[in-house]
Amino acid sequence: MKTKKLDTVTLDIVTTDNINAINISDLLQTMAGQISKKIASFELDEVIIVGTHTGGYWIAEKLHQQLQIVNPLGSLSISFYRDDFTHIGLHPEVKPSELPADIEGKHIVLVDDVLYTGRTVRAALNEIFDYGRPASVIFCALIDRCEHELPICTDVCGLSLKLSKQQQIKLSGPEPLELTLVESP
Amino acid sequence: MLNKNIQLNEQGNLKHFLAIEGLKRQHLTQILDTAESFANVSEKAVKSVPILRGKTIINLFFEASTRTRTTFELAAKRLSADVLNININTSATSKGESLMDMLHNLEAMHCDMFVVRHNQSGAAHFISQHVSPHVSVINAGDGCHEHPSQAMLDMFTIRRHKQQFGHLKVAIVGDILHSRVARSQIHALTTLGVNEVRVVAPKTLIPRGIQSFGVHVYHDMKKALTDVDVVIMLRLQNERMQGALLPSKEEYYQLYGLTEEKLSFAKNDAIVMHPGPINRGVEIASSIADGPQSVILEQVSNGIAIRMAVMALTLDRAPKN
């Protein structure tokens, strides 16, 4: 399948060919368009874009440029907020989170690369609220896997994919941004 | 592979944190990197992360401490653990309860970690060998042996100022003989690969055979401080001294106290450290302790991040209670 101008397209059966055909720049443009509609009524200096470490941050970086957001880009490393610490332990390379000093009363655009279970978003929301009380949070993901384990969904999404449990989609970057389909036996 | 270091689990990760000796550079670097990511937790509106929520940590201090106990307590609280401080002087051990009985009683309260300070070398090792498999033990200072978390917060402070360890010359000045801090620092500095470690003290305060640790021994402050990047001052441990090791505090200050004149032999950008508590006018002049090259208060702040890192790493992948 060749992606065209996408609003939100759902792929039901996903193969490596489908993934290779995805044009990430098109998806980013679509997302930027949707986000700018959502933040149209806000003052620009009240908007903060925050990406989750590391894939979400790469996407957030592009959106930050395209939308010409004035506040510096934030990054979230949710390692200390995960719900599976007792199962898998600390991530071997924990990076510190960096949020612009005051998020109190600001509109947060939270960006992740892939929404799967929703647990990363849950952890990210908890971390954001430890920095202050934002006026609102919009959640954007490049890919939505449509199989959430928590009541969390995207406000803005580049592409919806229905993958099997054996399939994983990985974003590599930051230049160039590329999606790869990983199939486990 | 058979693992002989009791601090490490089968996968080679930290299970207890008892001594720097025996740990590899990768372990020390992991502690420093993890501490770096905890360092900005204190800057958030909510100064904690939920990573050790539901864990219980017991501070078991058999010896007086202010800085170490409070920073361990704060570190545990910033990781959202529940923390208990047991004051041994008023506990049932003063009614004759043995250490083992007390430990088993505390374990029966489902605790996950003991932070132990004791005036006997090897106390934390002993406790680590008698606790349940899910319990981690951290050494917060044992006799004249080691004080590993102090050494790591010192390494963290040095790395933040000097970035790399390889080119550094570091002088450790003072009561090396009684100092567990000095032992841990020497192991940490040599493991992290600094260019040169110098120990400086009167002959009576240098342990025999310390050269085998890979350090150079000096008895003259000016020679020892020449061109160093880091000066670490130690406290005179009067409580551990038996017999006449020093003629007088005044003479010690004259020869080994850090004054502006002696510090001028070090590099211009040298930093001055002290684990505290400071004896002003005995080990160090007030003008240096409060001066621009002093990083003594930064050491205290960094102690929280390092202790958070050590607690999180040792309870990492810990089997469930």
Q: What is the DSSP string of chain A?
A: ----S-SS-EESS--HHHHHH--HHHHHHHHHHHHHHHTTTS-GGGEEEEEETTHHHHHHHHHHHHTT-SSPPEEE-GGGG-S-HHHH-S-TT----B--S--TTPEEEEEEEEESSSHHHHHHHHHHHHH---SEEEEEEEEE-S--SSS---SEEEEEE---TTEEEEEE-SSS-EEEEEE--
Q: Is the dihedral of CA A121, A123, A124, A128 positive or negative?
A: positive
Arithmetic mean of pLDDT, B37-54: 89
Count of CB atoms situated within 10 Å of the CB of B288: 23
pLDDT one-digit tens code per residue, A47-59: 999 999 989 999 9
- A77 chain-B contacts, CB cut-off 8 A: 37
Query: Looking at the partner chain, which of B30, B38, B45 has a beta carbon nearest the beta carbon of A130?
Result: B45
| B68 is an active site residue | yes
Note the residue count of chain A.
185
Q: Report pLDDT for B244.
A: 64
Mutation site for A-interface testing, chosen from B36, B37, B55, B134 by largest number of A Cβ within 10 Å = B37
Count of CB atoms situated within 10 Å of the CB of B223: 11
In A, minimum Cα distance to B50 occurs at: A81
Q: Which residues of B touch A (CB under 8 A)?
A: 30, 33-34, 36-41, 44-46, 48-51, 312-313, 316-318, 320
User: Is the Cβ–Cβ distance between B211 and B217 less than 8 Å?
Assistant: yes
Q: Report pLDDT for B136.
A: 96
Q: Is the pLDDT of residue B239 over 70?
A: no
Token pair for B179: 């100092």
Count of CB atoms situated within 10 Å of the CB of B64: 11
Alpha helices, H only, chain B = 25-38, 67-78, 99-107, 123-128, 148-162, 180-191, 221-225, 249-256, 260-263, 286-289, 296-315
What percent of chain B lies above the pLDDT cut of 90? 74
> Alpha carbon of B107 to those of A86, B54, B127, B135, B235: distances in Å?
19, 15, 12, 8, 35
In B, minimum Cα distance to A92 occurs at: B30
3-state DSSP assignment of residue B10: coil
B34 and A97 within 8 Å at the Cβ level: the answer is: no
Count of CB atoms situated within 10 Å of the CB of B280: 15
In B, minimum Cα distance to A99 occurs at: B44
User: Is the Cβ–Cβ distance between A5 and A153 less than 8 Å?
Assistant: no
Closest by CA to B272, choosing from B292, B253, B255, is B292
- Tell which phi-psi region holds residue A130, choosing left (phi > 0), alpha (psi between -120 and 50) or beta: alpha
pLDDT one-digit tens code per residue, A56-102: 999 999 999 999 999 999 999 888 888 777 677 776 667 788 888 68
> Alpha carbon of A154 to those of A19, A35, B199: distances in Å?
20, 11, 60
Residue B36 to chain A, least CA–CA distance (Å): 7
Strands A178-183, A167-172: pairing is antiparallel
| B67 is an active site residue | yes
> Looking at the predicted complex, does its ipTM rise above 0.85?
no
Q: d(Cα B273, Cα B235) in Å, to the nearest integer?
A: 11
| B147 is an active site residue | yes
B37 and A88 within 8 Å at the Cβ level: the answer is: no
What percent of chain A lies above the pLDDT cut of 90? 61
Q: Is the pLDDT of residue A21 over 80?
A: yes
Residues 6 or more apart in contact with residue B254 via CB below 8 angstroms: none
Count of CB atoms situated within 10 Å of the CB of B259: 14
Q: Report pLDDT for B64.
A: 84
Q: What is the arrangement of strands in the sheet containing A156-161, beginning at the earlier edge strand?
A: A10-11, A156-161, A136-144, A107-115, A47-52, A74-76
A132 and B45 within 8 Å at the Cβ level: the answer is: yes
Residues 6 or more apart in contact with residue A84 via CB below 8 angstroms: A119
pLDDT tier for residue A9 given thresholds of 50, 70 and 90: low
Cα A148 vs. chain centroid, distance in angstroms? 14
In A, minimum Cα distance to B43 occurs at: A131
Q: Is the pLDDT of residue B3 over 60?
A: no
B37 and A126 within 8 Å at the Cβ level: the answer is: no
User: Is the Cβ–Cβ distance between A26 and A9 less than 8 Å?
Assistant: no
Q: d(Cα B170, Cα B68) in Å, to the nearest integer?
A: 23
pLDDT one-digit tens code per residue, A23-42: 999 999 999 999 999 999 99
Q: What is the pTM of this model?
A: 0.87
Query: Looking at the partner chain, which of B44, B50, B312 has a beta carbon nearest the beta carbon of A90?
Result: B312
What percent of chain B lies above the pLDDT cut of 70? 93
* Residue-averaged pLDDT of chain B: 91
- B38 chain-A contacts, CB cut-off 8 A: 80
